[in-house]
Amino acid sequence: MIIVTRKGVTPDELDHIRERIESLGLRTHVSEGEERTIVGCVGDESRLHGVPLLSIPGVEAVHEVLKPYKLASREFAAEPSRIALGGVELGGSEIVTIAGPCSVENREMMAQTAAHVAARGARGLRGGAFKPRSSPYSFQGLGEEGLQILADVRAESGLPVVTEVMDTRQVELVASYADVLQVGARNMQNFSLLTEVGRLRRPVLLKRGMAATVKDLLLATEYVMSQGNPNVILCERGIRTFGTATRNTFDLAAIPVLKRETHLPVVADPSHAGGRRHLVAPPSYAAIPAGADGLLVEVHPDPETAASDGEQSLDFAEFDHLMRTLRPFAEAAGRSLGALAEV
């Protein structure tokens, strides 16, 4: 259930509304916008039945939220959420590009990549220190050494770091290095991990599972948010279908659905969707007018020698071309790509 306050509600009135709801055994979640304030009621809503909520000073309207994901639903927020990433906000007017290799391989490669993508307009650096691989014999990442490399490169480039956490035992370690904790597609319904990252206030980039519905994704989001962490970034990276022409089937329509259902920012991962370098740009172009707030793109100085996912990683020239050609799509959507160097 949500309570909409009247315009100009006073702090004392807002405190009284929260105290009244919490006295009935529910938790409150306040979202303040420029025009209105929303008080979300979380818990056993049957306790509110018969309570004259409209008689509480400052209350303008009361609405039931029938969706199973409450904190993530658009109704629970006065305005779309914006999540800080360095000097920009995901969910704002700028399309935010986060770029880097699949895996952290060595310091030189990461520094070279970070310097290049930063100069071309990327706002974040991605790279896996821990890698979930289908085969136990594939490269698993450098672990804490990789995290230290990411931190060193961040200090040099100024790019905030996005890296994956795979296990509840890694959360504290990864959080001590990373700016954004990524929960990958294979872990989207690892509820213990979602609960653990929810206890932090660090932004979480949550990827849609390979067989997950939009509802599944938003319920996974609710696990994070129910622990007190509102900073969730949703990621559409494609799902498994009977199609074999691409690595995954990019669910473009899921982006406007998510933007309608939730107040959270949404990014697209065209690299995992297509699975081939030449298939990265087209879904990127489509994602922006569909409503995506950002892109997560794999970039490597020499994809031929990449330790993982080289076939879907752009080289520097291809990334330059992508950033050049994205601008008209951003402008057509009434958005920007920020200040870009000449490429």
- Cα–Cα distances (Å) from 66 to 75, 77, 119, in that order, read 10, 15, 46
Collect all residues with Cβ–Cβ distance below 8 Å to 125 and sequence separation of at least 6. Answer: 98, 99, 100, 110, 113, 114, 117, 118, 150, 153, 154, 157, 159, 160, 161, 162
Collect all residues with Cβ–Cβ distance below 8 Å to 164 and sequence separation of at least 6. Answer: 128, 129, 130, 131, 132, 174, 181, 182, 183, 184
Q: Which fold does the domain 83-332 belong to in CATH? A: TIM Barrel (3.20.20)
**Identity of the amino acid at 307:** A
Distance CA 178, CA 233 (A): 15
pLDDT in tens, the chain (343 residues): 899 999 889 999 999 999 999 999 999 999 988 878 999 998 888 888 889 999 999 999 999 888 889 999 999 998 999 999 988 999 999 999 999 999 999 999 999 999 999 999 999 999 999 977 777 767 778 899 999 999 999 999 999 999 999 999 999 999 999 999 999 999 999 999 999 999 998 999 999 999 999 999 999 999 999 999 999 999 999 999 999 999 999 999 999 999 999 999 999 999 999 999 999 999 999 999 999 999 999 999 999 999 999 999 999 999 999 999 999 999 999 999 866 544 4
For the chain, what are the domain ranges?
Answer: 2-64, 83-332
Q: If DSSP states are collapsed to H, E and C, what string results for 289-332?
A: HHCCCEEEEEECCCHHHCCCCHHHCECHHHHHHHHHHHHHHHHH
- Kindly give the residue spans of alpha helices, DSSP state H, lying in the chain: 11-23, 107-119, 144-157, 171-175, 191-198, 214-225, 254-261, 270-274, 281-290, 316-332
Tell me, yes or no, if the two domains 2-64 and 83-332 fold the same way.
no
Question: What H or E segment, with its residue span, contains residue 40?
Answer: strand 37-42
Look up tokens 């303040």; give the residue. 32
Look at residue 166 and give its three-state secondary structure.
Answer: coil
Tell me if the domain spanning 2-64 has CATH number 3.30.70.1140. yes
Write down the pTM of the prediction.
Answer: 0.90
